[in-house]
Chain A
Amino acid sequence: MEVLKAISLRKYFKTRKKSRGSDGLVRAVDGIDFSLHEDSIFALVGESGCGKSTVARLVLKLLKPTSGSIQFKGHDTIEFDKRALKRFRKSVQIIFQDPFASLNPRRTVYNTIAEPLKIHNLATRSGMKDAVSEILGKVGLRPDILNRYPHEFSGGQRQRICIARALAVSPEVIVADEPLSALDVSIQGQIINLLTDLKNETHIAFLFISHDLKVVHYFSDTVGVMYLGKIVEYAKTEDLFEKPLHPYTVVLMESAPNVEPERYGKMHSAPLKGEVPSPLEIPLGCPFHPRCSKKFDPCDRIVPELQASQGRLVSCHLWNPY
């Protein structure tokens, strides 16, 4: 079942940096569509500044879109009244990258997790302690930590507390914005296992944001590859990793270091030259063309549309003759 849907979502930020060739608008998210389904994981990948976190904030309704909309179970969230909005806020939870910054340092573990339960009347006063302990158990934490404060925990434990807080209200959607990137390798492995258990044991739909393709491959069902505010390839995870079509997806995969034996000591040359252009001055034509080794005649003039090709969506003239 489709739980949440983004339709032609745009978010432009105004800046004072007007210059030639720029109207001073940061096109952080520039017309994207995707849907989140019950029991499944949709991943957004892309380099820094491509708009991933802005999408997350739009989905959570922490930001108002410039245009486009978010539908929750078929209803446009713009039209939500106060009660519907409260229900929406309960149903859609977030886990951030930095588990320290997202926990209140003066609140004990107990209070951190009891608060959402109180707000949404999910436990009685007498049953609160048991409810909190049960939730902590789900993320592999023991109830003897209830009275401790965030600074007493390691990064991985804090991330577990954040996940527990998100789970407390039995959400239908969890938005996870780089939930692993602040953690050590062994702790990342632990949290991946925890998220995989949640995926298998609940019906939660995940919007999983990451720049780590290995993790995305392992964890997600569908992937949207973002570049400068747009989705340039949208595919089933297997298909994407089996055969990436968009030239940007290809270089992203080639650039990621990995431990496969054929790559030991074989530093390859960098697959992609040049820097990501500023979202203030998005190139004409295909936004990727200045860095693309496959570019040809139409690429610097005509914007490729995101169109169906080989069982997925891709925006590249190579695959969609215009």
Chain B
Amino acid sequence: MPLLDVRDLTIGFTSADHRVPVVSNLNFSIEESEIFGLVGESGCGKSITALSILGILPQNAYAQGTIIFKDTNLIELDPESMRKIRGNEISMIFQEPMTSLNPVLTVGYQIAEVLMTHRGMKKKAAMDRAVDLLGAVQMPSPEIRLKEYPHQLSGGMRQRVMIAMAVACSPSLVIADEPTTALDVTIQAQILELLHSLRQERNVSILLITHDLGIIAENTSRVAIMYAGRFMEMAVTEAIFSNTKHPYTKGLLESLPIEKGVPLNPIPGFVPRADELPSGCRFSDRCSYVIDRCRVMEPEFIEVSSGHFSRCIRTEEIAWKS
């Protein structure tokens, strides 16, 4: 049984008199000790999906479907029980640690606070444990850094603090939303290495959200490609890159500069707004494979080969290797 099983997840916002869905009918599962990637362009619904799993959607949002985590449907869970899971069994790492850390508390205290809240630890014991955790995330001189405030640390060190907080209660699932986007490449590589060691040594599963296809290729075992609130393709990572089945994924890959002198073939146009989606396939107005039938009805998410899903009526017809 998977650790997390998401079925028909739809999330949207209520405005004045109507509801605008921004994420529709997501189906996916995350296995134990797996790094599952979620990739897509800005606004496609990655963060909203993460927030719904953690039960921290904004006030004006709604979520439908089921999110089964270890036999519990998180969507139906009461706020008090959800609070016990969050930061404890499921925790989160955000893109910009500066906005999620408290500027007036030492980083040591902020880590200790997680343990005091969820584990009922006394302050002294929690602070001792915080030093261990900072050591575990390879913070240089953890005893000294413990007493410092977020602004005294570099971006990479702040992200280490966030990770120490996220793993303080030995979670089984960590959701990392663009955890390295604000960091330099050399520091990014260090943070990704750290996430892998958590997976290996602590059996943590990770939902890794990013817009960087290179990070996906190197770090995940399976991946879902999201566009305008829909999964367009989902497969084991290697198949996504070497046996691409969806024109959107193909377009993303052809937008990357690979070989000097070879002109790029980027997806034309731009992502439509959630309330101005084209009829039929949501990618139809930018797709180079579009035919009339694409605009009639939205394609189903079909399993084209074992574990490989694609939402495109031409999946089988098109010679994907160009």
Contacts and interface: CB of A to CB of B under 8 A. Distances in A.
Interface of A: 47-48, 154-157, 184-190, 192-193, 196, 211, 213-215, 217-219, 237-238, 251-252, 254-261, 263-276
Contacts, number: 142
A275 B139 CA distance: 11
B64 to A, nearest CB: 28
Contacts of A258: 214, 217-218
A261 B242 contact: yes
B184 A276 contact: yes
Contacts of A214: 256-258
Interface in B112-168: 140, 154-157
Q: Report, nearest first, the 6 A-B pairs whose CB atoms are least far apart.
A: A189-B266, A257-B214, A189-B255, A218-B257, A270-B189, A186-B267
Interface of B: 41-42, 140, 154-157, 184-190, 192-193, 196, 211-215, 217-221, 237-238, 241-242, 251-260, 263-268, 270-271
Contact of B42 (A184, A219, A257): A184
Contact of A185 (B185, B213, B218, B238): B213
Given A156-B270, A217-B260, A275-B154, A259 B253 contact: yes
A265 B221 contact: yes
Nearest to B199: A267
B257 A267 contact: no
B193 A259 contact: no
Pick from A186, A238, A260, A272 the residue with the most CB of B within 10 Å.
A186
Given A47-B184, A156-B270, A267-B192, A196 B217 contact: no
A268 B185 CA distance: 13
Given A189-B256, A259-B241, A196 B263 contact: yes
Given A189-B256, A256-B214, A184 B192 contact: no
A267 B186 contact: no
A301 B258 CA distance: 40
A178 B263 CA distance: 20
25 contacts: A47-B186, A157-B270, A184-B271, A186-B252, A189-B254, A189-B256, A192-B257, A215-B257, A256-B185, A256-B214, A257-B212, A258-B217, A258-B218, A259-B214, A259-B217, A264-B242, A265-B217, A267-B193, A267-B196, A267-B218, A270-B186, A271-B186, A271-B189, A276-B154, A276-B186
A270 B213 contact: no
Contact of B213 (A48, A259, A275): A259
A265 B220 contact: yes
A134 B242 CA distance: 42
Contact of B186 (A193, A196, A237, A251): A251
A206 to B, nearest CB: 15
